[in-house]
Amino acid sequence: MALLQIAEPGQSANPHEHRIGIGIDLGTTNSLVATVRSAQPVVLADDAGHNLLPSVVHYAEDKTIVGYAAKDYLESHPENTIVSVKRFMGRSKADIRFQHPYTLHGNDNQMPSFATAQGDKTPVEISAQILAVLKQRALQSIEHDITGAVITVPAYFDEAQRQATRDAAQLAGLNVLRLLNEPTAAAVAYGLDENSAITEQQNFAIYDLGGGTFDISILKFSQGVFEVLATGGHTALGGDDIDRLLLKHLKQQWQLGDLSNHQHAVLLQLTKQAKEQLTDAEQTDIVFENHQYNLSRAHFATIIQAVTERTLQVSARVLRDAKLSITDIDAVILVGGSTRSPAIQNAVQDYFKKQPLCSINPDEVVALGAAITANQLVGNQNDGHLLLDVTPLSLGLETMGGLVERIISRNTAIPITRRQEFTTYQDGQSAMLIHVVQGERDLVEHCRSLGRFELRGIPPMVAGAARIEVTFQVDADGLLNVSARETTSDVQAHINIKPSYGLSDADTERLLLEGFEFAEQDKHARHLQEVKVEAQRELEALRQVLAKEQVDLLADDSQALQHAMQALSQTLQGDDLTAIENAVQDLKIHSDELAAKRMNHHINQALKGTKVDDWASFSQNKE
């Protein structure tokens, strides 16, 4: 009797053709790896049955320990035991302002390295150690080669932080299929969960409060398409900050001074334990040295109110960006271990006026969504949902006058390619500096510089004749590539945006908030600079005409023109918009006279030596 092979839905009947994709949630506090088995996403456990891998790495002189065993050294060797490394990814040394027991090496403007018993270790190397353990766990569980991995990142990770994550994965020997925003991964998991309360054509909010980051995204699910309408967050706001608030409160209550690294590590562990105990208990006791404190769940909610209010402020802003109100949200999904706290759940429920969904383990939901996406990307499931993530901040380039020309606006679905044409400012200009910036303001000085590159070899032309095509490409990972091409000569140049460090949490928030706060001021400043640039171009054009051509102007007319040009030039030194516009109008009276005389001069030159009869003959022949 012949045996027939039966394949899983959407998968090959030939085992040797089956490809394995894994999803990894590289978290601040805990990390996970998942895959799809029998068409269902599952989190992979270690030999001891643990699904979670604590994102902790201990460096001893002779060995490296990752996970639960590394946590044993938090109190005894805090300086060699790295926790929450995700908060250091893609950051400059100057951005690290919170208390920690580590010695950081490196330039203030570069991503720092940690001084350990094994020498300096960068955040990328430490993250690679965590990813390598997850990869090994997957290989042991699956017993099959891994085709590729989808790794999740906070929606508000910028280019540097995303690139640092990709570098860590490659260092761990992983083929990165995609970097996926964590809220989108959660939406994928819930959207494909048969027990979920979510149906098609609904708007839902993904509230993701992890150990070190906060994200909220508003997504629309319709006809198999996940569309991110708006996203927002904070790259340094999470469970770690809750722990610090509680630790600060205890120090005040017990009137403690500065703590040693060992004391700080011990007390920090006690605050974490108390926070976790209050998930199920109404109160708990905290005992530290000769001090004791009874903490109730209600009092804990008051202590961490600064964190909950901050998350809700971001939520309100993201709703405005999505052009939705609270009543338009059909469901709220909780993601991240910090959402286990009743204080967080109650705050979210009070704000959105509905019971949040948490039918999928909030610690696992992101990894499960990543696994589903990886399964689709390796080709095992062709009828999967379409993901439309967005870019969190606007991208553009600098134009004359220090103005920003926005090419890709924030909350634009990615991947995306946008092209726009620019031209030269001066006659004979053979090179152009392309300055790429990120932010919501209209002036370059208020935005963040991402990179610069030069386009050389532009054929000499009169100002405004060259056609420079600039292309912005943001891939599915949120990484940016910018290229420029002069269309007549086809000379080209490009840059891959890969800064050495990312935006600090303060800078990220500042770029967005200032975009709203200074909108009217920026509008005025932009108009002023545009008027100035146009006026300077007018002056330059008049100077070139007067230098190259002999135009018959009466002495009085010539003197009046020169006086008007000088007056405008002086007015441009200031910022009085009305005075500049008046000076432009005064000059226009005299420049129009010059233009009329130039036209008459060129017509006379063209007609010189011809007769009226010649034009009559030409007209008859044409008929």
Pairing relation of β-strands 386-391 and 225-234?
A: parallel
Q: List the helix and strand counts (H, then E) for the chain.
A: 15, 28
Catalytic residue among 46, 79, 167, 208: 208
**CB-based contact 237:341 (threshold 8 Å):** no
Catalytic residue among 79, 86, 135, 243: 86
**CB-based contact 28:86 (threshold 8 Å):** yes
**Distance between CA atoms of residues 523 and 475, nearest Å:** 31
Q: What length does the chain have? A: 623
**Distance between CA atoms of residues 85 and 123, nearest Å:** 6
Catalytic residue among 46, 79, 95, 182: 182
SS3 string, 198-257, reads: CCCCEEEEEEEECCCCEEEEEEEEECCEEEEEEEEEECCCCHHHHHHHHHHHHHHHHCCC
**Distance between CA atoms of residues 537 and 388, nearest Å:** 42
**CB-based contact 221:191 (threshold 8 Å):** yes
**CB-based contact 362:335 (threshold 8 Å):** yes
Locate the DSSP E strands across 112-155.
113-116, 119-121, 148-153
DSSP string for residues in 538-583: HHHHHHHHHHH------HHHHHHHHHHHHHHHHHTTS--HHHHHHH
Cα separation values, 535 from 317, 548, 572, Å: 39, 20, 8
Pull the structure tokens for residue 604: 């006379």
Written as one letter, the residue type at 62 is: D
**Distance between CA atoms of residues 184 and 191, nearest Å:** 10
Cα separation values, 594 from 545, 583, 598, Å: 9, 17, 6
Q: Is the dihedral of CA 454, 456, 461, 467 positive or negative?
A: negative
Strand (E) or helix (H) holding 158: none
CB atoms within 10 A of CB 263: 14
Q: Which long-range contacts (CB under 8 A, 24 or more apart) does 560-566 make?
A: 560/590, 561/587, 561/590, 561/591, 561/593, 561/594, 564/589, 564/590, 564/591, 565/539
Contacts of residue 426, defined as CB under 8 A and 6 or more positions apart, other chains included, come to 463, 540
What end-to-end distance do the CA atoms of the chain give, in Å? 93
Annotated active-site residue 208? The verdict is yes
Residue identified by tokens 């995204």 is 217
Catalytic residue among 25, 46, 227, 509: 25
Annotated active-site residue 258? The verdict is no
**Distance between CA atoms of residues 308 and 346, nearest Å:** 10
Provide the annotated active-site residues. Answer: 25, 86, 182, 208
